[in-house]
Structure 1
């Protein structure tokens, strides 16, 4: 039973769609048994089945939607009075099917929501022909005009819903891109610090080489090697940062900023009475010498996670901040038992701070995760490799 409830929760959209089809299918069957032509069953069954195929991962939406719309139009053309007379049928071959109309409305919403603009508009117009034209072509009595008006209103409602969903997705993508652009702008502002940090090391090594050349000529090679390594480190750091500024996901580093030694101060500001947050670290980690990008990113992940707790989990009872070094990587975890913030995937409103965290961690080839890890538990976890980070 629990497994079934989990499946229903995970596929809530499919369950709702099937329930709607089932309701209108029952009404269509009653009408067919009462007085409707049995050809209606073809439209009732075939069109919704084709529309449901869009949920398969290996099925493309545009051909599936076109097939469903085309099938409905063919059924309507086949049901006109002229064709029925040629077949020797006293009445229309099929009548208006509410289940079919619902399936076509779902097609309109889906293509306007997900498809590129041009095919979405073409399919929407074709769906209008199928939805509004079906009562006109399949019915010859007076209710046909009334039902065609109702069908037109239904098509208009589906168009409105699809356009609203499309606009929401567009704004969501724009907001996420703004967050990423803000992260890259911050990288640009900090680029000077990285360059200054490494170039200063090169200058110091060159000055030391000059002294060594006068006092101990045999050690000049060692001093030159130090300059070479410092220059290589500077190029690597700059290449990583420029990679992020160009929009590359796999490269980029963070610059010196807040260090892990300041995490305890950050936690104290968040929880002055020390009743809510428990901080756990390895002994001496706060004073460990870490690559500046890793240290700054670790600090900012904790900062953003605590900020999200304050904003999105007002009834939180406890927060656990855990920072450790394991297997040449910095592990940061922030866990709370309150109402979680929106997931980073962006399917629910809010949560743009998580996008920024993901951008920072990806810049250092790290692993970022944010989501529920138990009943009422929300965890933000990060793994930042130490080897090769600058």
Structure 2
């Protein structure tokens, strides 16, 4: 009835899964001992079977709980009713081990069953526990009812409260698990966009440049074509490396840092130089104070993401860009805030009306470190993205 399967693949799995059954063995022995106090073998056997069914309801998987609990409750009630008609009854205890198991069953029903089903089975389990007291001789009913009844009702309320508390904890853990998984998916989506889309955009942009130049009758010279193809090859190799890094993260969750930058600002110059090699020039203005006293790793990583996404969007969505500026410095009026401003003097592409997830993911990244992000057209011409981040997070 209780197969111990698929345990050998987990360290300690057999011990953890076998422990409840090992603990149930002495309880079954106690139930048999209580049954033998009647001096009547059939009653002793029925007591052991009834108690074993209640224990089974405590041990079966949740999917089988309602059916097993129903059988256990019916068997316990039947035994109690039949015992009232017998001359052979226990002299000292009516089955305290079975009563305790029924109280635990109330907790498990409240915790594991749907509300409507628990509302039916839990009171039935309490009724079965109350009827167990009738297994004593009839002259004991009054005394037991005066003292045992209220105590049993109080214990049942505690058991139901415990089950409700555990049910609430389970619900909170499940919600947290869902939230964690959603955050993990969003993080992977942002990483995939940041690492791969940036390089793929460079490939597309350089390929378009070759096509447009050729279509205009200005085919590039062999040296220029070789330089463009080298840039495409370089961007493709970087995209492949980033993709392998993402696959590594998905296969080995403890290693996400392997595909993320260290968090300092040293990679910004390489980033803007790579953009300028296949596009308009970029002026990088980095406050010297940030070199000697860099921001925290999370903030530094976010700064790189802001710059990378802005350059990617300029390459994808803007036309006629002749100059890009990247300005990173603490704010003069709020020195505890770091401001990252990326501007260009281009025009939005008239053929590019598709939405994307870049700015959405960027807003999420900035908000995660306690910052804010603004993006919009500049007065006159061009586009500007400004992020304000705490220097220490």
Name the TM tier (shorter chain): 0.3 to 0.5
Tell which has more relative contact order, 1 or 2 (C-alpha 8 A, sep 6+).
Answer: 1
Provide TM-score, normalisation by structure 2: 0.46
- Higher-Rg structure is 2
